[in-house]
Amino acid sequence: MDFYLPQSVSMIIDKLEYHGFEAYIVGGCVRDSILGKKPKDYDIATSATPDNIKKCFYDYKIIDTGIKHGTVTLVVNGENIEVTTFRVDGEYEDHRRPNSVVFSDNINEDLSRRDFTVNSMAYNPRIGLIDNFGAQKDLFNRRISCVGEPSVRFGEDALRIMRALRFASELDFEIEKTTALAIHDMKNLLKDIAPERIAKELVLLLNGTAPAKILTQFADVFEVIIPEIGACINFQQHSRYHVYDVWTHTAVAVEHSKPLPDVRLALLLHDIGKPLCFKSDDEGNGHFYNHERVSAEMAEKILKDLHFPNETISRVSTLIKYHYITPVDDYKVVRHLLSTVGEDVFPLLIEVMKGDSRAKQSFCFERVQTLEAMQAKADEIIAQDQCLKISDLAVDGNDILELGCRGPEVGEVLYMLLDNVIDEKIENNREALLGLAREYVNSSKNK
């Protein structure tokens, strides 16, 4: 089996071997190469200790990435390549990291400590492929299996539970039966994992090619991370627009959207407040009044608890708050929506609304075409630099102050003017705007 190795990677392996050490590419880059995918990066494992590595590459920039665990980063032609000493892990007490590691000179010992079979292979151009745990078979059968006993692997590092789900979503693989059972049984160990680590794996999982089956088959696991999900599971909507329960609709919407982090996070949480808002009319039809507002508020708290950046929280909560607007192919509607959510968020909102529509009854699919027309109009409006914000108006706050307005009145008048410009009731012309502002102020005083 032939592998393509970048020149920098081949050079590192050759140099380590020249000095009497073994060296292999390992992990994801081997897996991706076998699958015919271009690896995102290359990791190298070697019998050389960190001190040996530094001596071999004394004339290169070296970063002590994880020196305690045997990892250094070599900077070659501006590219960072991690090189790690073969090792055997000590005891795990926190379900995250080993208390100690022992360096080894045996590649087989190093591979035996890895999480999943598909990540447990090593390759060297002269020695060939090392596959001690049936990784190629699992790749052929499209499944994720633990190396060794799943309960031991997950007990060592509970984040591996999320990594198993993530790999299955990214690769569109099934999770092997005993591995899946261990995930369900040991899901509560995720409570011991730092929220930001959970968040990172969650985003990668959501952006995978097949997240829907993972979200539905392992709903109980996601409930550990986000307890509010529990109420959504099997919650029937009793609506002519919906074919799925709330959680299944969520999973399908995620998968049928563009794989953008903010879009898929928004769809994960866009209906999280529905169970709290459910009302049934006399005919048994379900209604979820204000669920978008409730869901946005819940999402903000959930994302804060998972330590997402404030910018992400703001964007995602905005997407959820406005996802329920009925699509209308109209310039005025598009201008108002652009003005409300902003030019950067608008295309993300369109993608959220598309995903939501594709996870409903088939007649809702027609909305996708309307949404695409709305995006085309938005592109046109932005290209024409039309007035969408207070700062785009031909007047400013000082002009309104001169009319005798004070405090909140200034903003009230400016927003009134912006609404009239967006609705094409008046041109964005200074004199015209001042005239309308005077009329508005005078009429307010006479009330």
Q: Say which CATH number the domain at 37 has.
A: 3.30.460.10
Residues 53 and 73 in one domain: yes
Indicate the residue among 173, 199, 225 that finishes a domain: 225
Residues 136 and 148 in one domain: no
Question: What is the distance in angstroms between the CA of the first residue and the CA of the last residue of the chain?
Answer: 85
| pLDDT at residue 144 is higher than 70 | yes
Residues 184 and 244 in one domain: no
CA distances in angstroms from 57 to 49, 138, 151, 164, 263, listed in the order given: 12, 37, 40, 35, 44
Residues 32 and 91 in one domain: yes
Distance of CA 168 to the CA centre of its chain: 15
Enter the DSSP assignment of 281: -
* 324: in domain: yes
| pLDDT at residue 340 is higher than 90 | yes
Output the domain CATH number for residue 203. 1.10.110.30
Residues 90 and 218 in one domain: no
* 100: in domain: yes
* 231: in domain: no
Residues 173 and 114 in one domain: no
Least reliable range by pLDDT among 2-16, 36-50, 82-96, 353-367: 82-96
Instruction: Indicate the pairing of strand 174-175 with strand 143-144.
Output: parallel
pLDDT of 274 reads: 97
* 230: in domain: no
**What's the total number of domains in the chain?**
4
Q: State the Cα–Cα distance between residues 364 and 202, nearest whole angstrom.
A: 28
pLDDT of 3 reads: 86
Of the candidates 250, 174, 176, the one whose C-alpha atom is nearest the C-alpha of residue 219 is: 250
pLDDT of 115 reads: 94
Looking at every residue in the chain, the average pLDDT score rounds to 95
Residues 168 and 243 in one domain: no
The helix/strand/coil state of 226 is coil
* 250: in domain: yes
For residues 75 and 62, the answer to whether their CB atoms sit within 8 Å is yes
Residues 272 and 219 in one domain: no
* 293: in domain: yes
Output the domain CATH number for residue 255. 1.10.3210
- Tell me the DSSP string of 329-352: --HHHHHHHHHHH-TTTHHHHHHH
Average pLDDT over residues 1-10: 88
| pLDDT at residue 16 is higher than 80 | yes
Residues 9 and 40 in one domain: yes
What is the CB neighbour count within 10 angstroms for residue 299? Answer: 26
pLDDT of 101 reads: 82
pLDDT of 94 reads: 61
> Which is higher by pLDDT, 261 or 446?
261
pLDDT of 232 reads: 98
Average pLDDT over residues 282-296: 95
Per-residue buried b or exposed e for 229-260, using 16+ beta carbons within 10 Å of the residue's own CB? bbbbbebebeeeebebbbbbbbbbbbbbbeee
| pLDDT at residue 95 is higher than 80 | no
Phi, psi torsion values for 303, nearest 5 degrees: -70, -35
Give me the domain span that covers residue 254: 239-335+343-364+372-383
Residues 9 and 70 in one domain: yes
Of the candidates 234, 168, 166, the one whose C-alpha atom is nearest the C-alpha of residue 205 is: 166
Of the candidates 118, 121, 215, the one whose C-alpha atom is nearest the C-alpha of residue 171 is: 118
Query: Quick one: pLDDT band at residue 427, thresholds 50, 70, 90?
Result: very high
Q: What is the pTM of this model?
A: 0.93
Indicate the residue among 141, 162, 183 that finishes a domain: 141
Residues 353 and 435 in one domain: no
* 44: in domain: yes
Residues 254 and 165 in one domain: no
Indicate the residue among 123, 141, 159 that finishes a domain: 141
